[in-house]
Structure 1
């Protein structure tokens, strides 16, 4: 298949949190579809490694800092042209009981997961409104249902799904689609950190901790980053031009939407 026949050929795609996990898998998938990739994130070393694999550009940013976001997106434009695809994947998860969820933890979850999604979307909007394009927000099944001991994270991810739906309606006649993918427990470094915490705080073995997570998936397994990437790539494809305002669960049947 030559470059001209690739569905995303020549389109500039920005992927936040692109240095590892779901973000890295999404960036690879979009690159294989012909997109020009700009990876964004906080970890320079990870960005450099992933960018070298893909021949991609990269920008270091803090999605919670408005000035950092503005500078990174302007630099991406200067390097790779107008932004036509935005994948808001940067996120963070921390657990605590409701009583132990202090204001610092609450603000961090909202700032990284929700405010960061908004700041990056707003930074890309001038290009998207001028040329059309796609926004895909990587939310979570936590944006569709509740989980105990992660109330701040659940609230933030519900906010991401709500923001997705609101923007989809606002931009529906402007050539821009806005959707969310909502993965269940996914085999990423973020999950590995969660498993370590379960082991250290409960005394369970690593196998028991993993089993407590995979049981929530009717398929009895972790979701793979490549599976999330396939869903994102479909939402970015020409064939998904009438799909907007949706929250697509990638979770083995854990959450039924419709």
Structure 2
């Protein structure tokens, strides 16, 4: 298992493959980009903010990586972003739908706007990007789609009903599309991280501190306690699972939702 800051040697398992990673500017998405580039893939990094994407593209192992700013919930923007990616690096062989957002509220106080935001970025974005990438994979007769869902796609959590609904939708979409493409040499799988050491969890910690008066350490411990290992998952651990699903050794893994959570879900 790699750790942040470890030296990375470029491998050949994905040499020449064009991989698109959404939500790639930080956290799990950035770790996934590092892992795929280390295996030889050429990356198009997608996200809302061009600055972090461009900075990451410049420091990834290998050469020829690109950055494209896009709102994955906007159908026209997604179409244009994939056209740009294809023009720069060729047909898309690998897609990692990582872009996501989490907001919390009691169900009775969950507004229609919050509900729509959760569905838009987490579920509709996955749908739109998969539709945009799929023609290249079908033409090539090979492809990998990995959807970064969440343990919230496999079980319920209080106060995040909209997020849970969206992530359950991602898992359902994964299973349906996997069956549809099973004879096309294209696999579709989901990776479901538990609480992971990212800005998303740090933001949640801040909200807990604000609403409850707990210290940051107490709030963070509450999230870590969900994991039987008593810690947050590291982004690199999620990335290694994604990298395996994209590689040749996972050709028979299809329609699965793999929990990366230290045993929280079994």
> The TM-score by the shorter chain falls in which range?
over 0.9
The alpha-carbon deviation at position 48 of structure 1 amounts to 1.5
The alpha-carbon deviation at position 191 of structure 1 amounts to 1.0
1:53-90: CA deviation from partner (whole Å, max 9, x where unpaired): 11520100000100000000000000000000000000
Q: 2:148 aligns with which of 126, 138, 148?
A: 138
1:131-182: CA deviation from partner (whole Å, max 9, x where unpaired): 1110000000000000000000000000000000000000000110000000
- Tell me the residue number matched to 2:47: 41
Matched, 1:217 2:227: yes
- Tell me the residue number matched to 1:50: 56
- Tell me the residue number matched to 2:6: none
- Tell me the residue number matched to 2:111: 102
Structure 2 CA distance for aligned equivalents of residues 151 and 211 of structure 1: 22
With the length of structure 1 as denominator, give the TM-score of the two structures: 0.97
- Tell me the residue number matched to 1:158: 168
- Tell me the residue number matched to 2:255: 245
What are the ranges of 5 or more consecutive residues in structure 1 without an aligned counterpart? none
The alpha-carbon deviation at position 49 of structure 1 amounts to 1.2
Q: 2:26 aligns with which of 20, 26, 29?
A: 20
1:205-226: CA deviation from partner (whole Å, max 9, x where unpaired): 0011001111110000000000
The alpha-carbon deviation at position 190 of structure 1 amounts to 1.1
With the length of structure 2 as denominator, give the TM-score of the two structures: 0.94
Structure 1 CA distance for aligned equivalents of residues 238 and 37 of structure 2: 15
- Tell me the residue number matched to 1:113: 122
What are the ranges of 5 or more consecutive residues in structure 2 without an aligned counterpart? 1-8
Structure 2 CA distance for aligned equivalents of residues 67 and 94 of structure 1: 25
Structure 1 CA distance for aligned equivalents of residues 183 and 156 of structure 2: 33
SS at match of 1:96: coil
Structure 2 CA distance for aligned equivalents of residues 42 and 52 of structure 1: 17
Structure 2 CA distance for aligned equivalents of residues 244 and 77 of structure 1: 25
Structure 1 CA distance for aligned equivalents of residues 105 and 260 of structure 2: 25
Count the aligned residue pairs.
Answer: 255
Structure 2 CA distance for aligned equivalents of residues 194 and 50 of structure 1: 25
Structure 2 CA distance for aligned equivalents of residues 46 and 57 of structure 1: 12
The alpha-carbon deviation at position 108 of structure 1 amounts to 0.2
- Tell me the residue number matched to 2:98: 89
SS at match of 1:152: helix
- Tell me the residue number matched to 1:172: 182
Q: 2:236 aligns with which of 226, 229, 232?
A: 226
Structure 2 CA distance for aligned equivalents of residues 218 and 21 of structure 1: 22
